Chain A
């Protein structure tokens, strides 16, 4: 097997706190290739964003990252700032959750895209970069790009701003795009449009795309593979079809059952009881056991090993036991 575009091995991210170090990401393994969309799904605080930000060293100094994150064979963990600066925005691009605050409010949109281009291509003239900026806005389906480049971020709606962020992210033809909850701050109809733009660009530019979200519904139809993250660990990883057809981890089943279905009439939507464990106070054994309907004594004592069946891996003592399906 040749080296994947981006692979993460046993990545751990902790934060130094007054009393004890808190581990937010407890050893995750992931990989993504050119032209592939990897979805990472999990609740707030599960470590999905922190893990990805940590792998490209975008966390505050109080965070420490161990393990390995390789991009085209190059180790990113512990890489010096200059080399990281060169990679970020050119080979590895990111899109953030809140498009309302991700743009510099006092600089024109066009100027910001021009800056993103010229940061990594010193030779291009300002005029050419501006032409490219207009092309990019056209690419993300912003009407009247010639006029829009001269406007400020506050003159754009949320959805339009996220398009601008996407345009900036792909400005330098990156290989890998990490989208951290790109649609969470937008309303549902706009979400669909943004996902459409992302999906089109991903195919056109043959990007490796990591899509971080807490909404399995967003992933359906867009992701190739999905990794389900709970309490800083990948509990299940499979192709999207396999995951929906044959979820093995009780947590995954719970997530799928919580997606509202328009064809069913229900009094109440399904939800998983309880809340994720707080950092530093993980239960012994499987981290999910206090909320799990299938939990046995073994779950409370032993951390389950990850077992792999083809491309489908899962970390549960009862992965093959269909009886207790909670959905």
Chain B
């Protein structure tokens, strides 16, 4: 309906998958991705240097003020992308790899092996994710790498379950039977005839989870289990800000950063969902 009423010029210029939320999401995510590369160029100050008096409110020198040690909050927020986003990407890639592989094997081989994997998934998912991540991260010790390992352990079962459901559905399709009849081996059938048709929900879910993982990483850092000071990580910056109750700006920068990046990934995930899954709506 709305598409029909758009002016012709707009319909020709704007591809149909580029909805407004998708465009906003892409813009936000693109901004933060650029910051991963460009933070050292764009940021006005060194994020670790004490560049001003402590706890200065926003001013022309320090757009987002300074923190308790006198570091520039804007610079630290921009540099934060350098830590948060690559970690999130690595965590999601690892979780998807492990989860999808185990889920696919579980769905395809089935039997005792398949059930064993799914029970492991059930057990893992029955913990609140934050609690499990805290426990694992705490036992491994602080540091972003350990937090990443903890998050992979928390996150892979989601993809295992998704992938298993997909494989169970696709393996009953007729082209799989045709491939068996053509004499294809079992690994070949799984990797060439089943898996290529299973990625859509994984892709959508992974995009949305990028935001969630950033949030979880920040939460771990907030309670001191992630990044160690003085790393400009958003979670630990908010943690610093929480100590400075009357200097709202210390937590404001990283807070907005987390808010926007999570929102951006969710918008993209939603857009992908509408684009890739025509059954929805």
State which of B98-106, B150-158, B173-181, B231-239 sits at the interface with chain A.
B173-181
Instruction: Find out whether the CB atom of B193 lies under 8 angstroms from the CB atom of A104.
Output: yes
Instruction: Find out whether the CB atom of A116 lies under 8 angstroms from the CB atom of B182.
Output: yes
Q: Is A108 an interface residue (CB 8 A)?
A: no
Instruction: Find out whether the CB atom of A85 lies under 8 angstroms from the CB atom of B184.
Output: yes
Q: How far is the CA of A94 from the CA of B175 in the complex (A)?
A: 12
Q: Is B128 an interface residue (CB 8 A)?
A: no
Central interface residue in B174, B175, B180, B184, by most chain A CB within 10 Å = B175
Q: Is A222 an interface residue (CB 8 A)?
A: no
Q: How far is the CA of A105 from the CA of B173 in the complex (A)?
A: 11
Other CB < 8 Å A-B pairs besides A56-B181, A104-B193, A105-B175, 9 of them? A58-B177, A58-B181, A94-B178, A94-B182, A96-B174, A96-B181, A101-B173, A103-B178, A115-B184
Instruction: Find out whether the CB atom of B175 lies under 8 angstroms from the CB atom of A93.
Output: no
Pick from A85, A96, A107: contact of B185, CB below 8 A.
A85
Instruction: Find out whether the CB atom of A87 lies under 8 angstroms from the CB atom of B178.
Output: no
Q: Is B11 an interface residue (CB 8 A)?
A: no
CB distance from A212 to the nearest CB of B (A): 13
CB 8 Å contact bits of A95-129 with B (1 = contact, 0 = none): 01110011111110000000110011000000000
Q: Is A315 an interface residue (CB 8 A)?
A: no
Pick from B177, B182, B183, B197: contact of A105, CB below 8 A.
B197
Q: Nearest residue in A to B181 (C-beta to C-beta)?
A: A94
Residues of A within 8 A of B183 (CB): 85-90, 119-120
Q: How far is the CA of A98 from the CA of B174 in the complex (A)?
A: 8
Pick from B179, B180, B185: contact of A104, CB below 8 A.
B179
Q: Nearest residue in B to A178 (C-beta to C-beta)?
A: B181
CB distance from A191 to the nearest CB of B (A): 19
Q: Is B54 an interface residue (CB 8 A)?
A: no
Pick from A88, A101, A103: contact of B181, CB below 8 A.
A88
Q: Nearest residue in B to A89 (C-beta to C-beta)?
A: B183
Question: Once A and B bind, how many residue pairs between them come within 8 Å at the CB atom?
Answer: 62
Q: Is B53 an interface residue (CB 8 A)?
A: no
CB 8 Å contact bits of B3-31 with A (1 = contact, 0 = none): 00000000000000000000000000000
Q: How far is the CA of A115 from the CA of B177 in the complex (A)?
A: 15
A93 touching B178 in the complex, CB below 8 Å, given contacts A105-B197, A106-B196: no
A-B contact pairs, 29 of them (CB 8 A): A56-B181, A58-B181, A85-B183, A87-B183, A88-B181, A88-B183, A89-B184, A90-B183, A93-B182, A94-B181, A96-B174, A96-B177, A97-B174, A101-B173, A101-B175, A102-B174, A102-B178, A103-B178, A104-B175, A104-B196, A105-B197, A106-B196, A106-B197, A107-B192, A119-B182, A119-B183, A120-B183, A165-B178, A168-B182
Residues of A within 8 A of B180 (CB): 58, 88
Residues of A within 8 A of B174 (CB): 96-98, 101-102
Residues of A within 8 A of B193 (CB): 104
Q: How far is the CA of A300 from the CA of B174 in the complex (A)?
A: 40
**B contact residues, total (Cβ < 8 Å):** 18
Q: Nearest residue in A to B180 (C-beta to C-beta)?
A: A58
Residues of B within 8 A of A168 (CB): 182
Q: Which A-B residue pairs are the 4 nearest by beta carbons? A: A89-B183, A89-B182, A94-B181, A88-B183
Residues of B within 8 A of A90 (CB): 183
Residues of A within 8 A of B182 (CB): 88-89, 93-94, 115-116, 119, 168-169
Q: Nearest residue in A to B186 (C-beta to C-beta)?
A: A81
CB distance from A71 to the nearest CB of B (A): 14
Q: How far is the CA of A102 from the CA of B180 in the complex (A)?
A: 11
Q: Nearest residue in B to A103 (C-beta to C-beta)?
A: B175
Residues of A within 8 A of B173 (CB): 101
Central interface residue in B180, B182, B184, by most chain A CB within 10 Å = B182
Of residues 143 to 192 in B, which have CB atoms within 8 Å of A's CB atoms?
A: 173-175, 177-186, 188, 192
Residues of A within 8 A of B192 (CB): 104, 107, 115
Residues of B within 8 A of A119 (CB): 182-184, 188
CB distance from A146 to the nearest CB of B (A): 23
Instruction: Find out whether the CB atom of B196 lies under 8 angstroms from the CB atom of A107.
Output: yes
Residues of A within 8 A of B179 (CB): 104
Residues of A within 8 A of B177 (CB): 58, 96, 102
CB distance from B199 to the nearest CB of A (A): 10
Q: Nearest residue in B to A56 (C-beta to C-beta)?
A: B181
Q: How far is the CA of A183 from the CA of B228 in the complex (A)?
A: 68
CB distance from A122 to the nearest CB of B (A): 12
Q: How far is the CA of A251 from the CA of B264 in the complex (A)?
A: 67
Residues of B within 8 A of A116 (CB): 182
Q: How far is the CA of A102 from the CA of B183 in the complex (A)?
A: 14
Instruction: Find out whether the CB atom of B175 lies under 8 angstroms from the CB atom of A102.
Output: yes
Q: How far is the CA of A119 from the CA of B173 in the complex (A)?
A: 21
Residues of A within 8 A of B185 (CB): 85
